[in-house]
Structure 1
Amino acid sequence: MTGLTHQYRLVIQKAVKKSSSLLEKRKLSYMNDYLAFPTSMTFNSLSDEEQHNRSELLRHLTSEFNRPSTGWNFSYLKGRMEEQLNLLPWDYEATVKNLLPNAKGLLDMGTGSGEFLASLNPLPPDTCATEGWAPNIAIARQRLRPFGVTVTAITDNDVRLPLNDARFDLIINRHEPYIVYEVHRLLKRGGLFVTQQVGEKDNIELNKLLGAPEHLGYREWHMEQACSELQKAGFTILEKKEAFIETKFYDVGAIVYYLKAIPWQVEDFTVEKYSEQLVNLHHKIQKEGFLSVQSHRFFIMARKDK
């Protein structure tokens, strides 16, 4: 931090102590926090060493952004990002495995790279999958071909899947958007729909810290809303649960890699576009040890009765 910035912060901190207005205290505290990290407002007054460190950081973040990734494999972030998914009060994988022996037809909506579906082998004789993210489609097809699984590529504009009515006993869906009446069409009467969804509040702290608009893809999306839609379509809700769990990031490069992999969280995310905010996050993590955000998840098991 430059000497001038340090002097400004000392003045602000003294003013906070003397101020009797709560609103004024908040404004002054915000200014103090703002000056704590180098931003475009203070960049010109950075020392040569600080400017060099900032440039090196942004080069490193750009390399993280450009790093190739395959599927939804976040093993690269092991030790750098910690998702406490084991604290969810349900077990999606165990639930699906328990239901498989009674299913002759299975559809995995949004199979990703096919890792989870492949892990369920032996699969029902009529097993299909869909995937909408282009980088995953070829990977999923290659992985699932030995199991006789057909992977259908879909787009956001597809309102009807090229699959026959009442074909499946079981439809599973983890973190994939769906059209409720299409799920109803594809299930046999008495068939089950099991889904774990990402809720509307997921990782919202990242958007706020970056000054980015909230992601629009989740709209008003929470457990009760999803249950209401399913019931209106003719489903009976057998089980429902919702949870907020902590995710920790231990370096800002992990955040960059993560946001590149989930492009719907921050639309048009690039290091260049959010360089100042990323520098701020780097200093915040250095100071506090990690950045904590909340993951929003909910689980529903529903049966087609009508």
Structure 2
Amino acid sequence: MGIKGDTERQATLRNEMIKRRKRPMRSNYVLKISSVVKPWMKLLDVGCGTAHIIEDLAVRHENAIFLGLDVSPAMLKIAKLNTMRLPNVILVEGDGLKLPFLDCSFDVVIVRLAEYSPHEVYRVLKKGGFFLEYGLGPEANKEIVEFFQGRIEKENFFFPKNFEDWKKEVCEKVADAGFLVESLDDYKEREYHRSIEELMNLIEMVPLVKNFDREKDKETVNILAKRYWSKKGIQITWHYYILIAKRF
């Protein structure tokens, strides 16, 4: 979630890709969140996007309240369609760097691949509340980095100061806001894109590459696809972490 938010096209591409794939990493994340959600709790999803995470959670936990916040009107437009049948979901337009909520308003706050302020998350969490973050590991999309060096949208990747001790960097950011980090697990998986068009959708959707042009950059994507082609499709590394922290 950037300052300006995703465009309508990015929102549409993201929604289509998520619906097409029930990613294992989404399941890992939803299961970890579900382990701390209890009836009548209030959960805030910062940078909820098209609301697929809280859509899953709201079905699993009918007696909890789920509030999704995003800075992008385009994302929220699709999110409303995805959650319109769920009475326990509320959607709000707002900035993850300055949360429009009172202190100690939520039992759980979650963030998935979105811009946010750890201090703001700490402020709106109740004492004893949980914070769960799903973020990128340093090897995520490394094949795309290899072929588009110099044009990478760095804010949409994670380039730690020290690749050997990147987990410490992640934990310190949250601990400095006052949290006690309970766990940080990372996962490396292979994603398979069935076609060059599908891979270009990923690059454009995030976005991963500055000034990406489907026509002008198609030759580079073709070379990438040939290099990493397999029987399952074009292999792209997905490296992510799930952090669980608590406010005391």
| TM norm structure 2 | 0.78
Cα distance, 1:251–1:234 mapped onto 2, change above 3 Å: same
- Identify the residue that residue 300 of structure 1 maps to in structure 2: 243
Cα distance, 1:213–1:141 mapped onto 2, change above 3 Å: same
Deviation of residue 206 (structure 1)? Answer: 0.9
- Identify the residue that residue 128 of structure 2 maps to in structure 1: 190
- The one-character-per-residue Cα deviations of 1:208-246 (angstroms, maximum 9, x if unpaired) are 224453331145454321211211221111111112222
Task: Report 1:123-142 matches (<5 A).
Answer: 123=62, 126-142=65-81
Amino acid at match of 1:92: Y
Amino acid at match of 1:248: Y
Instruction: Name the SS for the 1:269 alignment partner.
Output: coil
- Identify the residue that residue 198 of structure 2 maps to in structure 1: 254
2:43 to 96, 100, 106: 106
Q: Which runs of 5+ in 2 are unaligned?
A: 1-8, 161-165
The answer to which structure has the higher strand fraction is 2
**1:179 equivalenced with 2:117 (yes/no):** yes
- Identify the residue that residue 236 of structure 1 maps to in structure 2: 180
Cα distance, 1:137–1:226 mapped onto 2, change above 3 Å: same
Q: Is the 8 Å Cα contact of residues 71 and 136 (structure 1) preserved in structure 2?
A: no
Separation in 2, partners of 1:174, 1:257: 20
Deviation of residue 124 (structure 1)? Answer: 5.2
Q: Is the 8 Å Cα contact of residues 66 and 89 (structure 2) preserved in structure 1?
A: yes
Q: Is the 8 Å Cα contact of residues 239 and 302 (structure 1) preserved in structure 2?
A: yes
- Identify the residue that residue 40 of structure 1 maps to in structure 2: none
Give the structure with higher Rg (CA).
Answer: 1
Superposed CA RMSD: 3.0
The total of aligned residue pairs comes to 229
Question: Quick one: percent identity of the two aligned structures?
Answer: 18
Cα distance, 1:301–1:285 mapped onto 2, change above 3 Å: closer
Q: Which runs of 5+ in 1 are unaligned?
A: 1-65
- Identify the residue that residue 87 of structure 2 maps to in structure 1: 147
Separation in 2, partners of 1:94, 1:274: 38
**1:273 equivalenced with 2:189 (yes/no):** no
- Identify the residue that residue 73 of structure 1 maps to in structure 2: 16
Cα distance, 1:151–1:71 mapped onto 2, change above 3 Å: farther
- Identify the residue that residue 3 of structure 2 maps to in structure 1: none
Cα distance, 1:268–1:102 mapped onto 2, change above 3 Å: same
**1:208 equivalenced with 2:146 (yes/no):** yes
Amino acid at match of 1:162: P
Separation in 2, partners of 1:282, 1:298: 26
